[in-house]
Structure 1
Amino acid sequence: MKVGRRFRGLFLTAAIGVGIAVAPTATAEPAPGCSGWQVDTVASDLEELENLEPDGQGGFYLSGRSRVYHIDAAGEVTTVLENLRFPRGLQLVGTDLYVVTGSDGALSRYDTGTGELTYLATMTVPNGLLRLPDGDFLTTWIGTDFGVPHTGVTRYRHETGAVETKWSPIPRSEGLALSLDRQSVYTDDLFTGQVINIPLATPDRWTVVATVPGLFPGLDDLTITNSGELYVAAHVEGAIHRVDPVTGATCRIASGLSSGWTGPSSVRIGPDGAGFALYVTVFDGTLRRLRPPPGTDLTPVHTA
């Protein structure tokens, strides 16, 4: 719904207006790997960017306000889909790119080889998107869509086409990442700064594993490394945080990535030369690259 997206913007603006956007918190000496990150810009002057997905060839797909872009390993940007109703979460499976659109709630499959777009289901104001090991999809409900009943995390059953709202009755959630043991998923809460674990076998028994400090970081999306660490985009604060879901420890690895309504919206791991870097979409229309300090393990999870 356009009303929902507008309400989200008004909510964030109000939060900033009362001074709860980027208030720093007292911290001890940074943990290893929390300082020394280098930030640069890969692409700019794009639409308000919501999500990104590695293409497996050194590039990415990115969802903008009305279109889906592809940026290749050389940095060339092309538009692959346009005139969409607020595209949000993206997932690439083989040559098929799955996308959810916020205004009409559609889950669709885009064949990157033929260019064919196929509608699959309506998910009720979806935001994040994750394909599970069994082929089902999960979508999140951010909780700022005015007038829309609480839908929790929704599951799309790919074998039957059934859509199960409140598969997990978590009140609000944004990004989604599969745990290393593939038995649960992580998500985050824009309002509370909480990082949450949802067991796939018992989705009604979700637990909070960490809370990102600050009065209102405004968590938006997250990704996981092969060592089990989470990296979380704090939209309102304009920062990226590292989270240990086992101990609950957190640290800020980068800040100043624009803030408030124009802040970072998604984070993923991608190749960078012989190693890896974090790539971040920002509502100011830029794709940023965060290069880690020496010794940081950013090996991505291989889910094939």
Structure 2
Amino acid sequence: MGNRSIRLAAAASVATAGMFVAAVPASADTDVCAPREVGTVASGFGTLENLAFDGRGGLLISDGSLIGPGALRRIAPDGTSGAVAEVTGPGGIVVDGDSVYLATGNTTAAGVLGTPDGSIVRIDLATGEQDTVATGIVMPNGLGLLPDGSLLASRDIGEVGLTHIPADGGEPRVIRTDLGSVNGIAVDGDTVYTVTTFDLVNRLHILDANDLTGPVRSIDLPGLGPIQSPDDLTVGPDGALYIALNLAGAVLRLDPETGTSCRVVEGIPMMSSVAFGSGPGWDPDTLYTVGFDGTVHAAHRVHR
């Protein structure tokens, strides 16, 4: 995630002509695997990294830039937008009631050099006031809010791993480096999901929020890792995971219990994040996506 043109070029070079992508096993339910119809919500932004709905009619996006600072922006259902806050290297976004948590310093340079200039900021959605929750983090990318109020951030370049940010304001601490190039994070109750991006075989890892350093259940994702590049993910209303495949330009629907999967969206370039609509003006049955091409897409279910 983040401004990753350097990373994507390196990943793409791994894939050579003649390699075949493994077939994706289809779910038994053909309706949930039906292809969705894709449209454009808004375009013309910079490198879009993440998205989240604020519950009050807005879609929040992490808008990065190759020149100058990036920003957290808010898009209305009619496609109009405005800046919420200017930050460098905006990454993961988590909305919690009247507050939004945003990872900053999510840049390729920070990951490669190990520069601890990343932070987590909290922004009041009503007043716009900001406060810094944590500093000294290297390239906080994916972001998740745990049931106890603490946060979990990922790093997928350099010394990859997961960083825990205590709810009481304690120092951030790297708690795992054994899961590969972890990227997107989704939290569902006491269950934490994360996917890897740059491994030859990418995986979904399933952790217990109450025992983050304990046992992990992992599911191999279909296809050759470097040309799929799983990025962010979300838990759908059906309990399945919907994973943005960046280089493949697709959304993978995966049942975390059985491991069966199918693609439900195709043809969205450099997709970085995906979420179902939430709040006034946003369809809860529609998948909304952002990508490095600066476009927000909507993938509607086709009713037959």
Scaled to the shorter chain, the TM-score interval is: 0.7 to 0.9
222-231 vs 168-177, greater mean Cα deviation: 168-177
- 1:225-244 per-position Cα deviation (integer Å, ceiling 9, x unaligned): 23310000000111111000
Residues 136-285 of structure 1 mapped to structure 2, 5 A cutoff: 136-142=150-156, 144-145=157-158, 149-150=159-160, 152-167=161-176, 169-179=178-188, 182-190=189-197, 191=199, 192-204=201-213, 205-214=215-224, 216-258=227-269, 263-271=270-278, 275-285=284-294
Rounded Cα–Cα distance in structure 2 between residues aligned with 1:61 and 1:218 = 23
Which of residues 91, 95, 111 is equivalent to 2:124? 111
Please give the TM-score of this superposition, normalised by the length of structure 1. 0.83
Alpha-carbon spacing, 1:230–1:253, altered in 2? closer, same or farther (3 Å): same
Q: What is the deviation of 1:277? A: 0.6
Deviation at 1:36, TM superposition (A): 3.3
Tell me, what secondary structure is at the counterpart of 1:170?
Answer: coil
CA contact (8 A) 2:277 2:283 kept: no
1:62 has 2:61 as partner? yes
CA deviation string 1:63-94 (max 9, x = no partner): 01111110012221111222x22100011122
Q: Residues 7 and 206 of structure 1: is their aligned pair in 2 closer, same or farther, counting only changes over 3 Å?
A: farther
- Higher mean alpha-carbon deviation, 280-289 vs 26-35, is at 26-35
- The match for 1:43 is 42
Length-normalised TM-score, structure 2? 0.83
Question: Structure 1 residues 68-77 or 279-288, which shifts more?
Answer: 68-77
Q: Distance in 2 between matches of 1:219 and 1:99?
A: 21
Within 2, Cα distance between the matches of 1:20 and 1:282? 27
> SS where residue 141 of structure 2 aligns?
coil
1:254 deviates by: 1.4
Bigger Cα displacement from structure 2, 230-239 vs 54-63: 54-63
Cα distance change of structure 1 residues 249 and 86 upon mapping to structure 2, 3 Å threshold: same
The aligned residue for residue 127 of structure 1 is: 141
- 1:279 Cα deviation after fit: 0.4
1:76 equivalent in structure 2: 80
Question: How much is the aligned-residue C-alpha RMSD, in angstroms?
Answer: 2.5
The change in CA–CA distance for 1:86 and 1:293 in structure 2 (over 3 A counts) is same
Q: Which whole-Å deviations, capped at 9, do the CAs of 1:241-287 have from their partners, x for residues lacking one?
A: 100010000101111111xxxx0000001046665211000110000
Give the secondary-structure state (helix, strand or coil) at the position aligned to 1:39: strand
Please give the alpha-carbon distance, in whole angstroms, between the structure 1 residues aligned to 2:23 and 2:191: 32
8 Å Cα contact 1:58-1:270 kept in structure 2: no
Deviation of 1:32 after TM superposition, in Å, equals: 2.7
Moved more, 227-236 or 94-103: 94-103
Q: Is the 8 A contact 2:24 2:261 kept in 1?
A: no
Q: Which runs of 5+ in 2 are unaligned?
A: 65-69, 108-116
Asked whether the 8 Å contact 1:50–1:281 carries over to 2, the reply is yes
Q: Matches of 2:196 and 2:84 in 1, distance apart?
A: 31
Q: Which residue matches 2:110?
A: none
Mapped to 2, the partners of 1:221 and 1:213 lie a distance apart of 17
CA distance in 1, matches of 2:134, 2:282: 39
* Cα distance, 1:44–1:274 mapped onto 2, change above 3 Å: closer
Greater mean deviation of Cα atoms: 114-123 or 229-238:
114-123
CA change 1:285–1:206 in 2 (3 A) is: same
Cα contact 1:220–1:265 (8 A) shared by 2 = yes
Deviation at 1:138, TM superposition (A): 0.5
Structure 1 residue 109: deviation in Å? 1.0
**3-state DSSP of counterpart to 1:12:** helix
The Cα of 1:29 is off from its aligned counterpart by 6.6
